[in-house]
Amino acid sequence: MTMQRSGMHTPTAARLAVLGSPIAHSLSPRLHRAAYGVLGLAWSYEAADVTGAVLPGYISGLGQEWLGLSLTMPLKHDIRALLDSRDELSVLTGATNTVRFSFANGERRIDGFNTDVGGIVRALGDSGIHRVAQAAILGGGATAASAVVAAAQLGAEHVTVLARTPERAESLRPIAAAAGIAITILPLTLASIELTQAELVLSTLPGDAAPLELIGQSTLPSRSALLDVAYHPWPSRLALLWQEAEKPTISGLSMLVHQALLQIRVFVAGDPALPLDDEANVLAAMFAALESTNEADLP
């Protein structure tokens, strides 16, 4: 569906939240509140424990003071049936992590966006990685879909997906085709061979679930940079391999901040491509909000 942003109104006061289950340890409230403080917005942002089964009822019960939501998995897929429109990246990846509400004539409209792709691209850009020819992705789930599209946006001609269950990663083939990038799907047991060819490795594996096949491999990494979407514990076992080899190593916290910044653009202006006023200071405040993060704050 085509996004309709004409006449977009940004309220001076609004409620927002991140939804998921479990969600208590989410860092999103810290990031969003820091940004709203710099922007001078009297907006509240909370975390709410919501499962897919109750998501429709939860949203239908929200009043007009609600401006939008951030969504974690599996809600990124569950939300689709409730949307009035999806942006191009939501359609391409099949995952929506941001929704913005608007009201007209008493009717609620729900527009969906994917800011995970942009979060990956911007996090890599912060480390000086703006183009790659070949990329490898560890894992075959929803975040891997965003990683495939991010690799395509970086100019990669080919991506290799390494998954514990390759059959489950087959859903990535049409996504890669639509994004204009060739894809090979292989078992994770071949990672120690395949990763020596990649310029960029994107690990979408949860937590510290680094494949044992990689640990202790003296040939890794050979020439690649690593973005590990996980950030607890940090450095992860994978990240340690890259750090010991003095190769670029990027924590998932950077992706988290950048996708949140794009969410705030959506909430403010209805478009993730429109920069915020004083955006440099907003971004600095969001990173500063994470500097006080300690182990007790993380899941």
pLDDT surpassing 80 at residue 63: yes
Q: Is residue 272 part of a domain?
A: yes
Mean confidence (pLDDT) of the chain = 89
Q: Is residue 3 part of a domain?
A: no
- Region of residue 256 (left: phi > 0; alpha: psi -120 to 50; beta: else): alpha
Clarify whether residues 242 and 258 are in a common domain.
no
Which of these three, 229, 247, 265, is where a domain ends? 247
Clarify whether residues 89 and 48 are in a common domain.
yes
Cβ partners under 8 Å of residue 119, min gap 6: 255, 256, 257, 258, 259, 260, 262
Clarify whether residues 60 and 37 are in a common domain.
yes
Clarify whether residues 143 and 88 are in a common domain.
no
Number of domains in the chain: 2
Q: Is residue 58 part of a domain?
A: yes
Q: What is the pTM of this model?
A: 0.92
Instruction: Pick the closest to residue 260 from 11, 34, 12 (CA basis).
Output: 34
Clarify whether residues 148 and 171 are in a common domain.
yes
Give residue 221's pLDDT band: very low, low, confident or very high (50, 70, 90).
low
Provide mean pLDDT across the span 144-169.
96
Clarify whether residues 226 and 269 are in a common domain.
no
CA 250 to CA 240: how far, in whole Å? 11
- Region of residue 7 (left: phi > 0; alpha: psi -120 to 50; beta: else): left
Give residue 9's pLDDT band: very low, low, confident or very high (50, 70, 90).
low
Clarify whether residues 137 and 231 are in a common domain.
yes
CA 43 to CA 32: how far, in whole Å? 9
Round to the nearest angstrom and report the end-to-end CA distance of the chain.
36
What would the two tokens of residue 254 be?
Answer: 């950077």
Provide mean pLDDT across the span 217-241.
80
What is the DSSP pairing of strand 98-104 with strand 107-113? Answer: antiparallel
Q: Is residue 159 part of a domain?
A: yes
Please give the residue that has the higher pLDDT: either 164 or 212: 164
Provide mean pLDDT across the span 233-245.
85
Instruction: Render pLDDT for 90-143 as a digit per residue (tens, 0 to 9).
Output: 999 999 999 999 998 889 999 999 999 999 999 999 999 999 999 999 999 889
Clarify whether residues 167 and 272 are in a common domain.
no
**Domain holding 214: CATH number?**
3.40.50.720
Which value, to the nearest 10 degrees, does the dihedral of the CA atoms of residues 17, 153, 123, 174 take? Answer: 50
SS3 string, the chain, reads CCCCCCCCCCCCEEEEEEEECCCCCCCHHHHHHHHHHHHCCEEEEEEEECCCCCHHHHHHCCCCCEEEEEECCCHHHHHHHHCCEECHHHHHHCCCCEEEEEEECCEEEEEEECCHHHHHHHHHHHCCCCCCCEEEEECCCHHHHHHHHHHHHCCCCEEEEEECCHHHHHHHHHHHHHHCCEEEEEEHHHHHHHCCCCCEEEECCCCCCCCCCCCCCCCCCCCCEEEECCCCCCCCHHHHHHHHCCCCEEEHHHHHHHHHHHHHHHHHHCCCCCCCCCHHHHHHHHHHHHHCCCHHHCC
Which of these three, 231, 247, 263, is where a domain ends? 247
Instruction: Render pLDDT for 32-48 as a digit per residue (tens, 0 to 9).
Output: 999 999 999 999 999 99
Query: Is position 76 annotated as part of the catalytic site?
Result: yes
Q: Is residue 212 part of a domain?
A: yes
- Exposed, middle or buried by CB within 10 Å (0-12, 13-18, 19+), for 68? buried
Clarify whether residues 237 and 135 are in a common domain.
yes
**Domain holding 98: CATH number?**
3.40.50.10860
What is the DSSP pairing of strand 42-49 with strand 249-251? Answer: unpaired
pLDDT score of 241: 82
Give residue 5's pLDDT band: very low, low, confident or very high (50, 70, 90).
very low
Clarify whether residues 259 and 239 are in a common domain.
no
pLDDT score of 211: 57
Q: Is residue 120 part of a domain?
A: no
Give residue 2's pLDDT band: very low, low, confident or very high (50, 70, 90).
very low
pLDDT score of 265: 98
Q: Is residue 18 part of a domain?
A: yes
- In sign, the C-alpha dihedral spanning 2, 150, 31, 91 is positive
Place of tokens 């917005």: 41
Q: Is residue 7 part of a domain?
A: no
Q: Which domain holds residue 31?
A: 13-115+254-297
CA 43 to CA 29: how far, in whole Å? 11
Clarify whether residues 205 and 276 are in a common domain.
no
Please give the residue that has the higher pLDDT: either 243 or 287: 287
Residues 76, 86, 100, 258: which is the catalytic one? 76
Clarify whether residues 37 and 184 are in a common domain.
no
